[in-house]
Amino acid sequence: MLTIEELQSITLERQGLRYDAPFGEGKAAVGQALEQLGYLQIDTLSVVERAHHHTLWTRIPDYKTDYLDELVQERQIFEYWFHAASYLPMRDYRFAQAQMLEVRDNDSHYYKADSTVMQYIIDTIRAEGPKRVRDFENQAKKKGSWWDWKPTKIALERLFLQGDLMVSGREGMQKTYDLPERVLPATLDLTVPSPMEFANYLVKTYLNAYGWTTVKQIMHLKTGEGVRKDVKEVLSVMLEGRMVESIHIKCYPPVFVRCDLMEVKAERNIPEVRLLSPFDNAIIHRDRLKQFFDFDYRMECYAPKEKRQYGYFCLPILFGNTFVGRVDCKAHRKQQQFEIIHLHVENQSVDLDLWAKPFAERIKQFVLFNGCTSLKLSQVSPSNRTSALRKLLEGLF
């Protein structure tokens, strides 16, 4: 029977958070990381470096932000929807087609685009090549309708979601669209998966990325009893075939563990600190994080300022197997100053003196990754550690 600590170790190992450079170096490491993690969530918030870059930097010390765009252009990865906007390995494109077909067949989808505009976009891109939203005429919509998006942008999003267009590149967060036949590798399997094949893909993706999973995690932001039934059937077949083992821990949901990982032993004394993006794959399932790591984390950037407990954009601080606190940060890029708005030291079972220096080393690396050359510490809780931490952190530059 595995302990909670051993389950933690398995997940952190599979997530690439136990050791430095677990996927190797350079652009090749990005492909390796994405194939193991299964997806990489894209987010537009830029308080610190955007989530997709931050998540990869956490696992690839020499990561450069150009790598993702280059891999898209090399047709090794593509953009679509996992549980959110994501980069995915090109090998998995066929499994995205199930959702594409669902959008195409759904007249009630929230992207309700004008069919004439959609056809105009397809014809224009076919004749003239890849296009961005701004390349089309700005056709105003009625005031207050769909955030005043122009019809072409709504049509572009609908065509993208139903698979008639693909993102062929980016300039920052500005997407360029093209026809799939110009983007997809000629040898790619485009067979639409059956429901059971899709369920099998979901189960294996989570088991590969985390080492173990629960039905709830697999179904995260996915709807339909049909999918849930198929997922349970896949797990049942894997149990019979000794590919996974089901373990039951009091007060926890049933856990399905890969049999080849059942002998993993917990290593709690690895003195590494990780600063995780709020959208990092390791913590995106908040219920799992609370249940199995005893860390209650919620993003507060969408909450009114007066209702925030920790800050606008707090990064969880992971030390070994333990979340020891969180840090609210902001990169002031014009001034090249990185500000720690509020450092929250939380887990009192782990002595701060054990992780303060590794934390300082990681912060220094993160400051440089964010294009900053100086560091400012504004607040620490509890306040009695402010002086020592200020001396340690502000002495880094």
Pairing of strands 244-247, 174-178: unpaired
Is the per-residue pLDDT at 141 higher than 90? no
Is 313 inside any structural domain? yes
Please provide the average confidence, as pLDDT, over all residues in the chain: 92
Lowest mean pLDDT among 18-32, 104-118, 340-354: 104-118
CATH number at residue 114: 1.10.10
Q: What is the pLDDT of residues 333-383, one digit of tens each?
A: 999 999 999 999 998 889 999 999 999 999 999 999 999 999 999 999 999
In whole angstroms, what is the distance from residue 152 CA to residue 44 CA? 21
Is 246 inside any structural domain? no
Lowest mean pLDDT among 120-124, 138-142, 168-172, 260-264: 138-142
Show which of 160, 184, 208 is a domain's final residue. Answer: 184
- Select from 37, 19, 4, 14 the least CA-distant residue to 294: 4
In whole angstroms, what is the distance from residue 103 CA to residue 108 CA? 9
pLDDT value for 139:
45
pLDDT value for 145:
40
pLDDT value for 138:
54
pLDDT value for 126:
97
CATH number at residue 353: 3.40.630
Is 307 inside any structural domain? yes
Is the per-residue pLDDT at 263 higher than 90? no
Is 264 inside any structural domain? no
> For residue 272, with 0-12 CB atoms within 10 Å meaning exposed, 13-18 middle and 19 or more buried, which class applies?
middle
Lowest mean pLDDT among 48-52, 260-264, 276-280: 260-264
**Percent of the chain that is helix, strand, coil (3-state, to 5):** 45, 15, 40
- Select from 183, 180, 131 the least CA-distant residue to 152: 131
For 321, the domain range is 298-394
Is 80 inside any structural domain? no
CA 89 to chain centre: 14
Is 54 inside any structural domain? no
Is 269 inside any structural domain? no
Please, are residues 295 and 316 in contact by the beta-carbon 8 Å criterion? yes
pLDDT value for 216:
93
pLDDT value for 172:
78
Model confidence at 267, in pLDDT bands (50, 70, 90)? low
Show which of 184, 206, 237 is a domain's final residue. Answer: 184
Q: What is the pLDDT of residues 59-81, one digit of tens each?
A: 999 999 999 999 999 999 999 99
Is 235 inside any structural domain? no
Show which of 184, 217, 235 is a domain's final residue. Answer: 184
pLDDT value for 147:
39
Q: How many domains does the chain have?
A: 2
**Residues 241-246, mean pLDDT to the nearest whole number:** 97
**Residues 307-334, mean pLDDT to the nearest whole number:** 96
